[in-house]
Structure 1
Amino acid sequence: MSALEIRNIQKRYGDVETLKGIDIALESGEFLVLLGSSGCGKSTLLNIIAGLAEPSGGDILIGERSIVGAHPKDRDIAMVFQSYALYPNMSVARNIGFGLEMRKVPPAEREKAVRETARLLQIENLLDRRPSQLSGGQRQRVAIGRALVRNPRVFLFDEPLSNLDAKLRMEMRTELKRLHQMLKTTVVYVTHDQIEAMTLATRIAVMRDGRIEQLGTPAEIYDRPATLYVAGFVGSPPMNILDAEIGGDQLRIAGSDELLPLPQDFKRTAVPGGRVKIGIRPEALRLANAGASGVRLIADVEVMELTGPELVTTAKVGEQRVTACLPPRTPLIAGSTQVFSFEEAALHLFDPESGRSLRAP
């Protein structure tokens, strides 16, 4: 039995279809991240689960019970908002326990639950303060504590870290990961930040235009992208996408004399003479040493950017550009011609019309 099941959820506003049939089944303890750019429908789906919006079609079940039409307070869920939504006139302790207070939980039991939650979040020393006396990270902990203290069946997070600076965002990601591993809670988490998705999720649903482009583990999404959109959206820098043609057992990169082998995984689905899109992740590329194994690719170096841990290098293959993530002390000169290499398994092929991966099932 799934902890949360989303069945063919649709949402329309007049003639505009925001969600076009979403199906996801979540087991107890899973951490699902809804990942996508603004306007893809991820927050709309979260609001429908929360009861803040009603679907135009489909059903949502928590356990075996349909919650469509149920009041938000009767859904056994808790939601953490992007804006924290704390009561400014209440102490941290009362903010955390206010939901229990509304449910008439006895004061002694309520105080015990608040203190236990504060201990988990390491904010015991803040219980007497007001929200205005807290930092952004502390306020976010209080908002999470207000959700945790209720011990609901499902937790919903709507871009909870987007208001934090980069350092604090990283710290809170670690904190959320720690809490999930400790409590084994069921979570649906909305973000447009792929780093949050990759580090937090047990599964990721990449959304685009109201549909799910791909649903899988972070490793599946990263290593075997199902579409060009997923390949380009997940990864930083994004996957290199090059135009090419198939000739026998080889791929010719458009606008150049470069020939690459046709990977075994794609031989049954690739059409000889047809056009394809080739995908290669920047971190798969390396400078080829004498006697190095792997597929070779000759490119003209244009720009190098040292980020600290890596040298992000942009080069041209014919008229097309590729990015390579190289070790930081790699000796390169702009304008030089270099031989890069990569393993054949790092090649991805996509249909240029549908955008779907051509990998054989």
Structure 2
Amino acid sequence: MSALVVDNIRKSFADVETLKGINISLQSGEFLVLLGASGCGKSTLLNIIAGLAEPTGGDIRLEGRSLIGVHPKDRDIAMVFQSYALYPNLTVRRNIGFGLEMRKVPVAEREKAVAEAARLLQIEPLLDRRPSQLSGGQRQRVAIGRALVRNPKLFLFDEPLSNLDAKLRMEMRTELKRLHQMMKTTVVYVTHDQIEAMTLATRIAVMRNGQIEQLASPEEIYNRPATLYVATFVGAPPMNLLNVVATPHGLLIAGGDTVIPLPPALLSKIPQDRNIKLGVRPECFRTDAADGLPLTLRCEVVELTGPELILSGSVGGQRLVATLSPRTRATAGSDVALTLDTEALHLFDAETGMRIETA
């Protein structure tokens, strides 16, 4: 039995349909990330699962029990908010155990649960402090501890790291990953940050305009994006997209005479004389490969980040970005010979935005 089933969930506000039939089946111990831009409906879906909003249609089932109409406190779900939501006048110890206190859990049992959560989160020295005496990362650990002590069937996280600076976000991502690996808990996590999604999730649901564009593992999302939106939303720098037309000799870059030659076996699977988007990840280009598909980049900007060199320029009059070894020699205004493997190519129908399968 699936731990969580989201069955054709819809949500409308007046005449505006925010969720347009969401279907997800989540197994026990999975870490699902709802990923998408602001306004895509991910937080609305999380609130419906938590019971903070009711759906217009569909069903939510947790371990086989429908949650429609069930009060939030009776759903056996714990939620961690973006804003920490700590009580400023209570110590860390009481903040973590407050939910158990309200449920009349015996003191000894409550203190044991708080101590265990503090040990897991490595905040034992902070138990007698108040929230105003804590850093942002420490406050978020306390908020997570308050959810942990309840030992619920499902954890919900609503952009819990967005208020932290870059270094703290990285540290907290590691902590969340460690906790999930230790506790094998079932998690639904909302974020607009693709790095969080890729590093934390066992599966990612990429959402857009109230629908799921693709639901798959991080590897599948990155290596085989189902749509143009997924291809460009996941990845930094984002995937290059070139307008091309399939010809008997290869892919002609629109607006010029540059042709990318393809093996006949691959070319035969591509619709001829149709507008196609050719996608290539920036990191898939090489300058030292003896074989591969040749491209010449007219370099305009060179950026050294430390571990990589980012070249921005054009191929056949269209924009392209390549990330290469920092030892690569390139200057603005020069031509750089690049190669890429046929397995690095992603093809999409320019009109529908759907992936063209060539495997």
TM interval, short-chain normalised? over 0.9
Q: Deviations over 1:94-127 (max 9, x none)?
A: 1000111111100000001000110000001111
Conservation of the 8 A alpha-carbon contact between 1:263 and 1:347: no
Partner of 1:220: 220
Partner of 2:173: 173
AA of the residue aligned to 2:94: R
Conservation of the 8 A alpha-carbon contact between 1:159 and 1:191: yes
AA of the residue aligned to 1:346: A
Partner of 1:8: 8
Sort the Cα spacing of 1:264 and 1:13 in 2 relative to 1 into closer, same or farther, 3 A.
Answer: farther
How far is 1:257 from its partner? Answer: 2.5
Q: Deviations over 1:159-210 (max 9, x none)?
A: 0000000000000000000000000000000000000000000000000000
Sort the Cα spacing of 1:170 and 1:247 in 2 relative to 1 into closer, same or farther, 3 A.
Answer: same
Gaps of 5+ in 2: none
Partner of 2:246: 246
Report percent identity of matched pairs: 70
AA of the residue aligned to 1:323: V
Distance 2:265 2:100 in 1: 55
Sort the Cα spacing of 1:49 and 1:249 in 2 relative to 1 into closer, same or farther, 3 A.
Answer: farther
Distance 1:180 1:263 in 2: 45
How far is 1:255 from its partner? Answer: 2.1
Distance 1:169 1:271 in 2: 44
Question: Secondary structure of 2:270's partner?
Answer: coil
Q: How does 1:143-162 map to 2 (within 5 A)?
A: 143-162=143-162
How far is 1:262 from its partner? Answer: 4.3
Match of residue 339, structure 1, among 337, 340, 349: 337
Structure 1 residue 135 corresponds to structure 2 residue 135: yes
Sort the Cα spacing of 1:57 and 1:360 in 2 relative to 1 into closer, same or farther, 3 A.
Answer: farther
Structure 2 length-normalised TM = 0.98
Question: Secondary structure of 2:59's partner?
Answer: strand
AA of the residue aligned to 1:142: V
Conservation of the 8 A alpha-carbon contact between 2:248 and 2:267: no
Distance 1:41 1:95 in 2: 30
Partner of 1:258: 258
Sort the Cα spacing of 1:268 and 1:259 in 2 relative to 1 into closer, same or farther, 3 A.
Answer: closer
Distance 2:263 2:200 in 1: 32
How far is 1:293 from its partner? Answer: 1.1
Partner of 1:23: 23
Partner of 2:356: 358
Q: How does 1:58-207 map to 2 (within 5 A)?
A: 58-207=58-207
Partner of 2:323: 325
Conservation of the 8 A alpha-carbon contact between 2:262 and 2:293: no
Distance 1:133 1:263 in 2: 64
Gaps of 5+ in 1: none
Conservation of the 8 A alpha-carbon contact between 2:240 and 2:281: yes
How far is 1:256 from its partner? Answer: 2.6
How far is 1:319 from its partner? Answer: 1.6
Conservation of the 8 A alpha-carbon contact between 1:265 and 1:360: no
Q: Deviations over 1:285-333 (max 9, x none)?
A: 12245xx111111121110111111111112112201100011121111
AA of the residue aligned to 2:337: V
AA of the residue aligned to 1:313: L
Distance 2:266 2:44 in 1: 37
Sort the Cα spacing of 1:3 and 1:244 in 2 relative to 1 into closer, same or farther, 3 A.
Answer: same
Q: How does 1:223-234 map to 2 (within 5 A)?
A: 223-234=223-234
Question: Secondary structure of 1:164's partner?
Answer: coil
Partner of 2:291: 293
- Cα root mean square deviation, aligned: 1.3
AA of the residue aligned to 2:294: R
Question: Secondary structure of 1:257's partner?
Answer: coil
Distance 2:268 2:89 in 1: 66
AA of the residue aligned to 1:331: R
Distance 2:249 2:59 in 1: 48
Question: Secondary structure of 2:29's partner?
Answer: coil
Sort the Cα spacing of 1:348 and 1:183 in 2 relative to 1 into closer, same or farther, 3 A.
Answer: same
How far is 1:270 from its partner? Answer: 2.6
How far is 1:360 from its partner? Answer: 4.5
AA of the residue aligned to 2:66: S
Task: Return structure 1 stretches of 4+ with deviation > 4 angstroms.
Answer: 262-269
Question: Secondary structure of 1:151's partner?
Answer: coil
AA of the residue aligned to 1:159: E
How far is 1:269 from its partner? Answer: 5.3
Conservation of the 8 A alpha-carbon contact between 2:33 and 2:203: yes
Partner of 1:348: 346
Distance 1:126 1:157 in 2: 23
Distance 1:150 1:106 in 2: 13
Conservation of the 8 A alpha-carbon contact between 2:270 and 2:358: no
Distance 2:184 2:291 in 1: 44
How far is 1:259 from its partner? Answer: 1.8
Structure 1 length-normalised TM = 0.97
How far is 1:258 from its partner? Answer: 2.1
